[in-house]
Amino acid sequence: MENVINNFENLNTYLYKQIKDMVWEKKLMPGDKIIQEQLAADLGVSRTPLIKVLERLTSERLIEYIPRRGYFVKRLTLEEMIEIFKVREVLEGVAVKEVADKATDSQIEELRGIFSKFDTDMCVELKNEYIEADQEFHSRLIEIADIQLIEDINEMFNIYRFSYQKGLMRDPSETIDEHQGIIDKIEEHDSRGAQLLIMDHIEISSNNINKIFQEKYNQDGTLK
């Protein structure tokens, strides 16, 4: 245990990563109450540093805090999900605009490369790879744009993590052409054009989420 901890600069980062992972890996399920003493014991620390980290994760909206009742793993409602996509739409809009303005040829080549091995009628195994390529594409876009605050908002509100939850993605056959179109606009350095395309792209995905939720959940957010 000592060794594990010492690989990080401090306990905080260690705990932060551990808990964040536990949430994403659903070891801590949405809605679960976090029993401080217990989680602290599991992680081999006392409540003091744990609370510090929980406070941080609360700010990031991964966890919810109710005074005198404690910390709970956050449960996302459909509305919050849609809001995430609305913000994502604009964030990527700004990012892609910047990218179209300033991307170098090799960066454009790189973006194109991400999708090079896929086409509209790919086999099932490739589809899983495609999902990763999709994530890769969007996050590279943000990296190339290199607008720190966008990265911060993304990180801080976990926009991507929430966006790419399993079962929420559209079928590759639908999105592959959209991606190509966006890259084309970038290549032409048509920044407004790229911006409009990516905003449409994400808006469609958002509507898709809407549909999925309505199939799976009741109005009050409970599972059907």
Q: For binding to DNA (CB under 7 A), which residues are involved?
A: 10-12, 33-38, 40, 45-49, 51-52, 67-71
Q: Which is nearer to DNA, 10 or 214 (CB)?
A: 10
- Confirm or reject binding of residue 207 to a copy of itself (CB under 8 A): no
Partner in contact with 153, chosen from DNA, a copy of itself, none, beta carbon below 5 to 8 Å by kind: a copy of itself
Minimal distance, residue 155 CB to DNA, in Å? 21
CB-based contacts of 96: which residues, under 8 Å, 6+ apart?
141, 145, 182, 186, 191, 194, 195, 197, 198
Among 90, 129, 180, 214, binds a copy of itself (CB under 8 A): 90
Integer Cα distance of 157 and 146 in angstroms: 18
- Confirm or reject binding of residue 55 to a copy of itself (CB under 8 A): yes
Amino acid at 62: L
Partner in contact with 55, chosen from DNA, a copy of itself, none, beta carbon below 5 to 8 Å by kind: a copy of itself
Buried b (16+ CB within 10 A) or exposed e, 200-221: ebbeebbebbeebbeeeeeeee
As beta bridge partners, residue 66 has: 70
Minimal distance, residue 146 CB to DNA, in Å? 30
Amino acid at 110: E
DSSP per-residue string spanning 21-66 = HHHHTTSS-TT-EE-HHHHHHHHTS-HHHHHHHHHHHHHTTSEEEE
Integer Cα distance of 93 and 21 in angstroms: 29
- Confirm or reject binding of residue 168 to a copy of itself (CB under 8 A): no
97 contacts 195 by C-beta, under 8 angstroms: yes
Choices 50-58, 132-140, 177-185, 212-220 (CB under 8 A): range interacting with a copy of itself:
50-58
Q: How long, in residues, is the chain?
A: 224
- Confirm or reject binding of residue 84 to a copy of itself (CB under 8 A): yes
154 contacts 160 by C-beta, under 8 angstroms: yes
Among 5, 32, 36, 56, binds a copy of itself (CB under 8 A): 56
Site for a copy of itself in 94-133 (CB under 8 A): 94, 98
Give residues in contact with a copy of itself (CB under 8 A): 9-10, 12, 48, 51-52, 55-56, 58-61, 67-68, 79-80, 83-84, 86-87, 89-91, 93-94, 98, 147-150, 152-153, 156-157
